Structure 1
């Protein structure tokens, strides 16, 4: 029996996934959480084999959870199951140590098979998204550029961003200017939105 944890902030989605996967004779959902920062502790307590993770969750996003699992529970496998099938997310998830990445409209039988394959030590990636990721190339933004764009996305001013990231306003402007140039957008908010759409943040 493969023991599963479902992490998604939408209770209806968790319930639907649990019901579908529960129909499989070799899969058992033993834990469900709605916040990313609850995953590692619950996975450890429930002796989980595979964690199915959404990307956008409160507490910690799915990619950060993958990193924590890889460090703290390396025997536990991680499978991203998300609405956000963006190439940047796929690349970041795999770099963080995810064992699989599929979108939520994957048929139930294919999702169950993905769980089994991940549990067996194989890597499972949505083929269309994998092709799109290869064509799209790597994330052009540096870590600092991503940080300032995340703040800009929330509408923070240059001085606010500088305070939050412990940088000078001039340094923040330089990072924003560089990020705007790389995205080809006219403003920092537009650059931040494009970067988010592509999964670069």
Structure 2
């Protein structure tokens, strides 16, 4: 895909959604961190249902740590992998209290040192909470980037590196949200909704031939 077409795609996505936001509910960097940690292999809807009950009761590292693993499980038991997520969340709260004065660090290495926090989660927090031009490549972004030919790669790391290289600076802060939402609601996995796609004429996707 050439840069002219790539920029036109991004301009259309921006025009359609000038201020894209995550669909996770959060009011502080800590709430966002925990929500993203809980969202692995789970939907944002299921995470929001849990945190909407959890955060009015406990929305700081100390408060969630005080719940303990079993107490936290009662709030997140409807989310997939809740046992391991509860353990990682409590460990993360302890590290935030011990090493960062109860604050979420604005630092990639420090974030990735937290239990259950990998590169993708760190990218989301740095981008959404702190305004870094990071791109957290999830299954939606990976699919959209490869399918449209916006930025092709065999792994999520490949796609992230390619996106960071080819996306102009003015779009980097928001492109992660645009691509996630586009993949979630239009460029879906099994049957992409090309007929309602605002970038269909620019997309380089070739549908498989029917047999």
What is the TM-score of this pair, normalised by structure 2? 0.26
Q: Indicate the structure with greater strand content.
A: 1
What is the TM-score of this pair, normalised by structure 1? 0.27
Q: Indicate the structure with greater helix content.
A: 2
